[in-house]
Amino acid sequence: MNPGYIFPAVGLIAAFVSWALVGVVIRLAPLIGLLDRPNERSLHTRATPRGGGLGFVLVVALGCGVLWVVPGFMVVGAPGGWHRLLASYLVAALFIAAVSLRDDFQSLSPGLRLLCQLAVAAGAAGGIGYFQQLTLPGGGALDLGWIGAALTVIWLVGLTNVYNFMDGIDGIAGVQGLTAGLAWTVAGLWLDSPATAWMGLLLAGGCLGFLFHNWSPAKIFMGDVGSAFLGYSFGVLPLLFLRELPPVGQGPGAEAVPLFALLVVWPFVGDGFYTFLQRASRGEPVCKPHRSHLYQRLVRTGWSHARVSSLYATWGVLCGVTALGWLTGAAGSAVMAVVLPLATLAGIFLLVRHREQKTKARYV
């Protein structure tokens, strides 16, 4: 199997199937009540179909099925085999998607959603694995022990929710999924981890197909079904990757994977974490819907959805390249792994403040 031919074809097929399936959802959504109606917190002005994430959810599910039947993808010594790990991921991810789809139809209580996410995250940490080692730039490997299991649960639940909170304008969640998925694809190919590369490509291709319908002006929104699925999937990918890596890896090794996983989704995590701290410091409810994220504030200063999403796509590419340098041990990558994410987040913040002062837009 020649990845030089197979993987580009898989990406294009995934994008096409996602595009076609999302087109079906666009036609069906108004008939079954899947509509997002504007409210005081919205950044759109007309009722728009939602639930478009169903398209790439099905693409990933079908792609996982291919991994089960195509020879050549069964990989190194994961206890119970890669099939079991993949099944564990897919069942949990589809459960997250199902709960979130129910939320798209009629809002569930935050407590019930969190309980479901905690149960799934704990199951993933126990059934797939958890972060056992961590390398920080400029330091040695740190053994996490049982704390790694707790951090893994926090990581999975946190990223699932951050992705949901950040899906607020046309295109932004799709471009983050595209750039992060491509970074995982390159990482898998570089370190001879074909199943990881395959999963990254399915996610990237699915997001690309969705973006043809979601780019501004969007014909459909991703919905919680898509954003929660992507957040959970990008949270689990490093756990699967760690089980696929050979005992003797390349570059810094398996302990470099947690930071790599964080860097490839840093635009969402950075914006989300900053906004969380900002609202907490003001005594504002951190989990209540709002328009305080940096990307939302940029839109309120007059930037178009397309312009803001393009900015975040560029940010995602920069973080992805930095993450790949870190994972493979490139010269200077340790410094860049610290400097670039912090510098870019600061740059986005300064841009927002400049625009708000120029346009007199009010922080909400």
Residue 344 covered by a domain:
no
Residue 313 covered by a domain:
no
DSSP 8-state class, residue 256: G
3-state secondary structure of 106: coil
pTM (predicted TM-score): 0.92
Q: What is the pLDDT of residue 364?
A: 57
How far is it, in rounded angstroms, from Cα 205 to Cα 350? 33
How far is it, in rounded angstroms, from Cα 169 to Cα 171? 6
Residue 280 covered by a domain:
no
Residue type for position 117? Q
Max mean pLDDT among 44-48, 84-88, 145-149, 309-313 falls in 309-313
Take residue 56 and report the two structure tokens written for it: 């790439």
Terminal CA-CA length for the chain: 53
Residue 59 covered by a domain:
yes
Q: How many CB atoms lie within 10 A of CB 238?
A: 24
Say how many domains are in the chain: 1
Residue 323 covered by a domain:
no
How far is it, in rounded angstroms, from Cα 197 to Cα 184? 6
Max mean pLDDT among 53-62, 105-114, 354-363 falls in 53-62
Max mean pLDDT among 45-54, 233-242, 284-293 falls in 233-242
pLDDT higher than 60, residue 352: yes
- Name the residue among 237, 265, 262, 269 with its Cα closest to residue 124: 237
pLDDT digits (tens, 9 = 90+) for 251-295: 446 778 999 999 999 999 999 999 999 888 888 877 777 788 999
Residue 296 covered by a domain:
no
Domain residues for 237?
Answer: 3-255
Give the CA count within 13 Å in the CB-facing half-sphere of 178: 25
Residue 278 covered by a domain:
no
How far is it, in rounded angstroms, from Cα 144 to Cα 130? 10
Residue 330 covered by a domain:
no
pLDDT higher than 50, residue 37: yes
pLDDT digits (tens, 9 = 90+) for 299-322: 999 999 999 999 999 999 999 999
Residues 6+ apart with CB under 8 A from 30: 49
Given a contact cutoff of 8 angstroms between Cβ atoms, the answer to whether 234 and 203 are in contact is yes
How far is it, in rounded angstroms, from Cα 67 to Cα 86? 9
Strand intervals (E) in the chain: 35-36, 48-49, 133-135, 141-143
